[in-house]
């Protein structure tokens, strides 16, 4: 099979998966679909059927880089300052400490595990451990979306636990992307370019600079004309340029595009149109990324390899579960969000795969084991992410819903009483304008049961 045809088939599978399987599974079975494409990729790859040759995977590099960058800009999209400032400080504090705790614990654990498994000094594997730590922080927001959907967005405003989960998802992603980008800058080659080699700080600035320039070019390009065609050209051009530039310089496309996303979402009067375009491409690109990531997976027979993977999955899960509990207790927020909302953060998804794949495709040390850790974690957790969220949030939401129902009933009764007791008070004024709710004097439609 030719490489382009393969690419088209990958895209077609991703496309159909997005719009047929994903929605059906999500609605009917409360399952977050996606991880199975990783398995499909493994089956199509050189390890099993060989349909995807290594050369074909190499030819897909631009798509892979674009997909990785796209995840970065998607992470930034909810970070509109105007909206963020309305959220109280406690959820941020809790989520940030939880993120840093997870990063610290998993980095330490993974560094020890890799050093032990490969019999190397821990200093040599600190960067790889840090990468695993950064990846471990990420948690998928798909669980919340599937479990509560649009209702979740409304409910998040009144249910503290959903708000906490939402904030934690976003902050986990931010910490994960930023730390990952910084570690890549640390690991960057120190070859002198002109006079001297750039420092880590300078590489980080370059990464962020690419994103900021991308965002600026987008705005200049779009100008005052907000037509859909122009939006697609300017957004597509800016994303492709920034992803390509970051990848060319061996920096993190996710961090560069994250910076660009932050610029976009906070500088546009109405970022809804940009978000729509991004959303349309996000899931198909994620599925394509999963398939290609699966196809490029390379196992190792070393027993220590599996030790690192098991260690990562267990340590991450425990940190997310207990870490959130401890942090919540320290912040005194257990009354509103409970102590085990960390269950909602166990699921890992698109960002995890994007970061791990970005690391492994560069041929950096321990890339295969790091990617396998991420892949195993996504395989075991993303599928049930919605159920994890539901399990964590449902006990705290149920009382709220009953309170809401009671409040509604009380309000209905009061309104009815007022309507009957004070009819003249609610009469329309002489000029015809009504200073009362429009439906009060109109006959109410019969409830469905009475028809």
Partner 1 sequence: MRRLVILLILFAVMRGVFVLGGPTSGIPTLMLFGFLILAAYSVGELVKPFGIPKIVGYLIAGILFGPPGLAYVSKPALTELTPVSNLAIALIAFLAGAELQLSEIRERGAAILKMVSSELVLTFAAIAGTMVLLRSQLPILANAPAAEVVAFSLLFASVAVVHSPAVTMALLTETRANGPVARYTLGVVLVMDVAVVLLFSLVLAVARSLAPPAGGAEGVQAGAVLWEIGGSVLVGAVLGACIALYLRFISRELFIFGLLMALLGSEVARILHVETLLTLLVAGFVAENAGGGRGEDLRHAMERAAAPVFVVFFALAGAKIDPRAVLPLLPIVIPVVLVRMAGIYSGMRLGGKWAGLPTQVTGNAWLGLVSQAGVAIGLATVVADVYPSRGAPLRALLMATIAINETIGPIMFRLGLKRAGELTPSEANAGQSVGSPPTAGAH
- 245 binding partner 1? (CB under 8 A): yes
Calculate the alpha carbon distances from 115 to 119, 126, 308 in Å. Answer: 5, 9, 10
- 66 binding partner 1? (CB under 8 A): yes
Return the closest-CA partner of residue 355 out of 372, 371, 377.
371
- Residue 158 or 230: the one with the smaller Cβ distance to partner 1 is 230
Interface residue with partner 1, options 90, 239, 260, 327 (CB under 8 A): 239
How far is Cα 106 from Cα 311, in angstroms, rounded to an integer?
Answer: 9
- 232 binding partner 1? (CB under 8 A): yes
The tokens for 246 are 């970051």
Return the closest-CA partner of residue 282 out of 78, 427, 39, 122.
78
Whole-number minimum distance, CB 70 to partner 1, in Å? 12
- 236 binding partner 1? (CB under 8 A): yes
- 243 binding partner 1? (CB under 8 A): yes
DSSP 116-161: HHHT--GGGGHHHHHHHHHHHH---THHHHHHHHHHHHHHHHH-HH
- 114 binding partner 1? (CB under 8 A): no
CA 102, distance to chain mean position in Å, is 16
How far is Cα 16 from Cα 147, in angstroms, rounded to an integer?
Answer: 22
Stretch that binds partner 1, among 39-47, 59-67, 73-81, 419-427 (CB under 8 A): 59-67
* CB 341, CB 393: distance < 8 Å: yes
* CB 178, CB 255: distance < 8 Å: yes
Which residues ranging from 173 to 212 are in contact with partner 1 (CB under 8 A)? Answer: 191, 193-194, 198, 206, 210
* CB 183, CB 358: distance < 8 Å: no
Which residues ranging from 297 to 326 are in contact with partner 1 (CB under 8 A)? Answer: none
**x/- map, 353-392, partner 1, by CB under 8 A:** ----------------------------------------
- 216 binding partner 1? (CB under 8 A): yes
Whole-number minimum distance, CB 134 to partner 1, in Å? 24
How far is Cα 372 from Cα 248, in angstroms, rounded to an integer?
Answer: 25
Binding residues for partner 1, total number by CB under 8 A: 47
- Residue 281 or 365: the one with the smaller Cβ distance to partner 1 is 281
* H or E stretch at 81: helix 81-84
Stretch that binds partner 1, among 6-14, 147-155, 307-315, 376-384 (CB under 8 A): 6-14
SS3 298: coil
* CB 172, CB 347: distance < 8 Å: no
- 12 binding partner 1? (CB under 8 A): yes
Whole-number minimum distance, CB 275 to partner 1, in Å? 15
Q: Count the alpha carbons within 13 Å of 53 in the hemisphere toward its beta carbon.
A: 7
How far is Cα 330 from Cα 315, in angstroms, rounded to an integer?
Answer: 21
Whole-number minimum distance, CB 55 to partner 1, in Å? 14
Interface residue with partner 1, options 104, 281, 325, 365 (CB under 8 A): 281
Whole-number minimum distance, CB 57 to partner 1, in Å? 15
For the chain, give the longest Cα–Cα distance: 90
- 4 binding partner 1? (CB under 8 A): yes
**x/- map, 411-440, partner 1, by CB under 8 A:** ------------------------------
Whole-number minimum distance, CB 274 to partner 1, in Å? 15
Stretch that binds partner 1, among 57-65, 126-134, 148-156, 308-316 (CB under 8 A): 57-65
- Residue 58 or 416: the one with the smaller Cβ distance to partner 1 is 58
- Residue 224 or 449: the one with the smaller Cβ distance to partner 1 is 224
> Positive or negative CA dihedral for 119, 121, 122, 127?
negative
How far is Cα 29 from Cα 386, in angstroms, rounded to an integer?
Answer: 10
- Residue 195 or 446: the one with the smaller Cβ distance to partner 1 is 195
DSSP 227-273: -HHHHHHHHHHHHHHHHHHHHHTTS-HHHHHHHHHHHHHHH-S-THH
SS3 370: helix
- 274 binding partner 1? (CB under 8 A): no
Interface residue with partner 1, options 186, 217, 321, 426 (CB under 8 A): 217
- 2 binding partner 1? (CB under 8 A): yes
Neighbours of 210 (CB within 10 A): 26
Q: Where do contacts with partner 1 occur on this chain (CB under 8 A)?
A: 2, 4-5, 7-8, 11-12, 15, 18-19, 61-62, 65-66, 191, 193-194, 198, 206, 210, 213, 216-217, 220-221, 223, 228-229, 232-234, 236-245, 247-249, 280-281, 284
């Amino acid at each position: 099979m030719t490489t382009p045809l393969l690419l088209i088939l990958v895209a077609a599978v991703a496309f159909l998966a997005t719009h047929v399987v994903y929605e059906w599974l999500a609605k009917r079975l409360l399952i977050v679909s996606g991880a199975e494409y990783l398995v499909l990729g493994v089956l199509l790859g050189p390890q099993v059927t060989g349909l995807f040759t290594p050369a074909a995977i190499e030819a897909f590099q631009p798509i892979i880089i674009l997909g990785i960058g796209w995840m970065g800009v998607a992470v930034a999209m909810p970070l509109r300052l105007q909206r963020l400032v309305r959220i109280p400080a406690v959820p941020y504090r809790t989520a940030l400490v939880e993120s840093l705790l997870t990063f610290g614990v998993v980095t330490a654990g993974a560094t020890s595990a890799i050093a032990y498994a490969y019999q190397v000094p821990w200093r040599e594997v600190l960067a790889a451990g840090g990468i695993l730590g950064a990846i471990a922080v990420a948690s998928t927001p798909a669980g919340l979306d599937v479990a509560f959907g649009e209702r979740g967005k409304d409910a998040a405003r009144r249910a503290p636990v959903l708000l906490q989960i939402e904030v934690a998802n976003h902050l986990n992603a931010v910490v994960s992307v930023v730390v990952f980008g910084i570690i890549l800058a640390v690991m960057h080659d120190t070859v002198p370019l002109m006079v001297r080699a750039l420092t880590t700080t300078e590489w980080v600035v370059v990464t962020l600079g690419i994103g900021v320039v991308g965002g600026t070019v987008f705005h200049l390009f779009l100008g005052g004309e907000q037509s859909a065609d122009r939006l697609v050209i300017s957004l597509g051009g800016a994303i492709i340029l920034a992803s390509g530039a970051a990848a060319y310089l061996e920096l993190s496309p996710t961090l560069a595009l994250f910076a660009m996303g932050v610029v976009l979402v906070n500088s546009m009067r109405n970022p809804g149109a940009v978000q729509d375009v991004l959303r349309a491409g996000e899931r198909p690109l994620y599925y394509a990324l999963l398939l290609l990531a699966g196809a490029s997976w390379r196992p190792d027979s070393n027993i220590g390899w599996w030790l690192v993977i098991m260690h990562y999955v267990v340590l991450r899960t425990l940190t997310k579960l207990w870490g959130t509990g401890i942090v919540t207790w320290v912040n005194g927020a257990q009354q509103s969000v409970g102590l085990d909302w960390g269950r909602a953060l166990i699921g890992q998804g698109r960002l995890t795969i994007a970061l791990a794949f970005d690391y492994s495709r560069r041929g950096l040390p321990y890339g295969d084991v790091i990617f396998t850790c991420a892949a195993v974690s996504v395989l075991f957790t993303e599928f049930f992410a919605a159920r994890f969220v539901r399990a964590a949030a449902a006990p705290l939401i149920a009382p709220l819903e009953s309170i809401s129902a009671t409040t509604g009933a009380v309000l209905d009764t009061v309104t009815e009483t007022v309507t009957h007791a004070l009819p003249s008070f609610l009469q329309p004024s002489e000029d015809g304008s009504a200073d009362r709710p429009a439906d009060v004097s109109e006959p109410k439609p019969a409830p469905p049961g009475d028809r």
